[in-house]
Structure 1
Amino acid sequence: MSNALFQNSYYIGNNFNCILYGVELVLYTVTMQKLMSLQSRKTGSNLFFICFSTANLALITVYVAVQSVFGEEMWIVNVGFPGGQGAYLQQFAAVWYQTMGTTASVVLNLLSDGLLIYRCFVVWSDVRIVILPGILYMATLALSIVELWASGAPHSDFFQGLAANFGLSYYATSIGLNVLVTCLIVARILSIARTSDRYLGVEISQTYIGIAAIIVESALPYTLAGIAFLVSYGMSSEISILFLSVYVMFTCVSPQMLLLRVVEGRAWRHNQFRDTTAALNFSNSGLPGLPGASDYTDSTTAGSAGAGDMSLRLQAIRKSLHSLEDAGTLAVTSEGSI
Structure 2
Amino acid sequence: MADSLAVFQNAFYIGNNFNAILYGVELVLYFMTIRVILSRKRKHAPTDKYFLLFSTVLLLLNTVFVATEAVFGEEMWIVNANYPGGMDAYLGDFASVWYQTFGTASSIVLNLCSDGLLIYRCYVVWNDLRVIAFPVLMYFASFSLGIAQLVDSGRPNSNYFAGLAQKLGIAYTSTIISLEIIVTALICARIYWMGRRYGQAMGNEVGRAYTSAAAIIVESMLLSTLTGIAYLITFARSDEVEIFFLSIYVMSTCIAPQLVVLRVVAGRAWTREKTSMIQSKLEFTDGSRTQIGGGQTTTNEKSHHDLVTTRSRSSSNDIEEVGAV
Give the TM-score of the pair, scaled to structure 2: 0.88
Determine if contact 1:207/1:266 at 8 Å carries over to the other structure.
no
Deviation at 1:62, TM superposition (A): 0.6
Structure 2 counterpart of 1:74, which letter? M
SS in 1 for 2:210: helix
Match of 1:30 in 2: 32
Distance in structure 1 (CA, Å) of the matches to 2:286 and 2:166 = 63
Match of 2:190 in 1: 188
**CA deviation profile, 1:12-50 (whole Å, cap 9, x unmatched):** 111111111111011001000000015985543010011
**CA deviation profile, 1:76-108 (whole Å, cap 9, x unmatched):** 111111111111100100001000100100110
Structure 1 counterpart of 2:162, which letter? Q
Match of 2:309 in 1: 314
Match of 1:13 in 2: 15
**CA deviation profile, 1:149-170 (whole Å, cap 9, x unmatched):** 0110001000001111111111
**CA deviation profile, 1:118-165 (whole Å, cap 9, x unmatched):** 111111100011110110111111111111101100010000011111
Match of 1:141 in 2: 143
Determine if contact 2:95/2:158 at 8 Å carries over to the other structure.
yes
**Pick aligned residue for 2:88 from 83, 86, 89:** 86
Match of 1:113 in 2: 115
**Pick aligned residue for 2:67 from 50, 65, 68:** 65
Distance in structure 1 (CA, Å) of the matches to 2:88 and 2:310 = 67
Determine if contact 1:265/1:328 at 8 Å carries over to the other structure.
no
SS in 2 for 1:44: coil
Determine if contact 2:76/2:90 at 8 Å carries over to the other structure.
yes
Structure 2 counterpart of 1:106, which letter? I
Gaps of 5+ in 1: 287-303, 330-338
Distance in structure 1 (CA, Å) of the matches to 2:110 and 2:287 = 50
Structure 2 counterpart of 1:317, which letter? S
Gaps of 5+ in 2: 289-298
Distance in structure 2 (CA, Å) of the matches to 1:8 and 1:285 = 62
Match of 1:163 in 2: 165
Matched, 1:96 2:91: no
Distance in structure 1 (CA, Å) of the matches to 2:13 and 2:302 = 64
Structure 2 counterpart of 1:256, which letter? Q
Residues 142 and 264 from structure 1, CA distance in 2 versus in 1: closer, same or farther, beyond 3 angstroms? same
Residues 186 and 328 from structure 1, CA distance in 2 versus in 1: closer, same or farther, beyond 3 angstroms? closer
Residues 318 and 28 from structure 1, CA distance in 2 versus in 1: closer, same or farther, beyond 3 angstroms? farther
Distance in structure 2 (CA, Å) of the matches to 1:284 and 1:114 = 35
Q: For this pair of structures, how many residues does the alignment match?
A: 314
Structure 2 counterpart of 1:125, which letter? N
Structure 2 counterpart of 1:17, which letter? N
Determine if contact 1:123/1:271 at 8 Å carries over to the other structure.
no
Distance in structure 2 (CA, Å) of the matches to 1:9 and 1:53 = 29
Q: Percent identity?
A: 48
Matched, 1:264 2:263: no
Give the TM-score of the pair, scaled to structure 1: 0.85
Determine if contact 2:37/2:44 at 8 Å carries over to the other structure.
no
Distance in structure 2 (CA, Å) of the matches to 1:231 and 1:279 = 43
